[in-house]
Chains A and B, each alone.
Chain A
Amino acid sequence: MTCNTEDWMHRFRRGNSDYCNFVVRMSLLKPFSKLPALNTANILLVESEEQLQQNLAESLVEESAFTVNVRLAKSLPLPTENDESRPRIDLVVFIIHLTSELSLQSVEASVKYLDPGYFLGKVCFMVTNARNASVPSERLDAVRKLAASLHCPLLFAEDQSPTGVTNATQRLLTILKVSAGLVPMVTALHLSNLTHCTVPPDIDQPSFD
């Protein structure tokens, strides 16, 4: 705690912009600052439209092998009033609807409020409507670049049907189990090395549409 205060003092002297920096730093969600619970995994779903996350949540809590707690948010930062009651978040999922530009912008802004420790396998991006013809291809490319630069896996989900939601749930549970430490011999970092998104070298070249 002491080193944090000194840090704060230094930054405060350096000026206002650094004070804002400090404020952002203080509202970061941290991955290891709380103790985990027994046989429990906590997942945070961040979605600007607040629709798919509800269906996913209802499907996720049906998991019986271990307890799944789901927290739903529209964007980050999370309200500080809930800091005390919030458990340790094992996996943060950003849901982007490719049909909306606002969705991507909201996620790009929210990503800044995560402690860098999360990006070692505890963040994943989920994208919907990737097959939709009216979606500009630049948007999916932008999401790919974002996921690749942050070294996170990119999942594609189909949110209109119950089977689509179930499939997405299963995939999230697989990653969640590893991130929560419930799978022996596998860590989140290990898994993310295998599953993180990569950008093909010709991503910036125009496609044949």
Chain B
Amino acid sequence: MDESMKRLLQRLVRRIPAQMLKTTLEKCVRLTASQQRSVEVLQPKWAFTETLLDICEENGWTVKHVTKLEMTCFMDNPNQGMWYAFQLVDPEDDAHAVELMQFKEKFKYHLKDLVRPVSIKIKKHTDEAVWIRIAWGDGFSPPNHLKPTYVVHYLQTPYVFVTNLTSKRKPLLCQALVLSTRHQIIKDANLSGRKLTAVRDLLMKQYQQAFPIKYPSPLAERHETVSNPHIEKEQAESASKRFQMACEAFGDGMLPQLQTSIYKLETKFRDHTNKTMTDREKPFRCVVKFESTNLLESLRSCASSGIASTPVTPLLSSIPLKGRNYFVVTDNTPGPASQTRQPLD
């Protein structure tokens, strides 16, 4: 293989952690016995890269094989970079009947129509998700395999998750998606996060939710707590009410691991003690950002411990309810407004 391809392979392989490469190699590629042995030897990354390149040469692998390897590694470990959620709106009549082969063909056709050259790989994951890897090129250069865009779509749902997309390519991808899924519009769902599973679970509501019920524990006798009879909580009832309301707002059990929530405020400054700021006509612009290792869990414990007042304010409960974490708050609409936000380059 020529030098440029070698360099490309080197750079691709270098970016993937060695352990992941090894496991993926064993899983999806057939190696000869000697190759297998050479892979299993514990060696530093650069030596391992050399070994792998030799294997590539021996087996006559091309960029195609290596990108397939990269894609498999990425699918196993998708929590790199920021994922942005999009929503497809206004389905056509046959949008619910789109199935995999049809989607694949149509997507490839439409995207290749819009931009050439482009390298597209579509794979179906075990959990019904369709993964698309796109390496963009333009009229002058071949597809750039070092900065691929990954798209995850669940067929027959209106949700698409994208990572690593530049604003230049965004309209092209959106057009291709809209046409191949038989919808009319695609819009930003205002939800982003580092963990794909968290973003997906939040948007598609795949976590345990608590619904308001009038008699929360019908079998009270069965729930006799075995805590010490000498210890008694005075305000146990109000505590359990707060906990119930917190769970209703955010959900029961394990919550999706969302990490940030951003509120862009465009409201007038209101503080009686500060006349100069309050008298200004223009809205006071500021951005409030909540960050945590598990934001929803911390908000739920804030509400159940009484730090956040219950019933939970719609500003906080909109995060799981509407499945978004970017809000623009204006004066007339105290709830989240709908403004799109561009994914960053």
Using CB atoms and an 8 Å cutoff, list the residues of chain A in contact with chain B: 44, 49-50, 57-58, 61, 67-75, 78-79, 81-82, 86, 102
Contact = CB atoms under 8 A, between A and B. Distances in A.
B223 interface: no
A41 B306 CA distance: 30
A68 B230 contact: yes
A79 B228 contact: no
Interface string B222-249: 0000001011111101110000000000
A50 B305 contact: yes
B231 A58 contact: yes
A49 B305 contact: yes
Given A49-B305, A50-B305, A70 B231 contact: yes
Contacts of A61: 228, 230-231
Given A49-B305, A74-B306, A79 B235 contact: yes
B234 A70 contact: no
Contacts, number: 44
Interface of B: 228, 230-235, 237-239, 305-307
A188 to B, nearest CB: 21
B234 A78 contact: yes
B230 A69 contact: yes
A70 B235 CA distance: 13
A79 B238 contact: yes
B230 A79 contact: no
A5 B176 CA distance: 80
Given A49-B305, A50-B305, A74 B239 contact: yes
Given A79-B237, A79-B238, A72 B232 contact: yes
B234 A73 contact: yes
Contacts of A86: 234
A73 B234 CA distance: 5
Contacts of B238: 79
Given A49-B305, A50-B305, A74-B306, A82 B234 contact: yes
A73 B237 CA distance: 11
A197 B233 CA distance: 29
A102 B237 CA distance: 22
Given A49-B305, A74-B306, A79 B234 contact: yes
Nearest to A54: B231
Nearest to B239: A74
23 contacts: A44-B234, A49-B305, A50-B305, A57-B231, A67-B230, A68-B230, A69-B230, A69-B231, A70-B230, A71-B233, A71-B234, A72-B232, A72-B233, A73-B233, A73-B235, A74-B239, A74-B306, A75-B235, A78-B235, A79-B234, A81-B237, A86-B234, A102-B307
Nearest to B238: A79
Contacts of B307: 102
A67 B229 CA distance: 11
Nearest to B228: A61
Contact of B232 (A67, A69, A75): A69
A79 B239 CA distance: 12
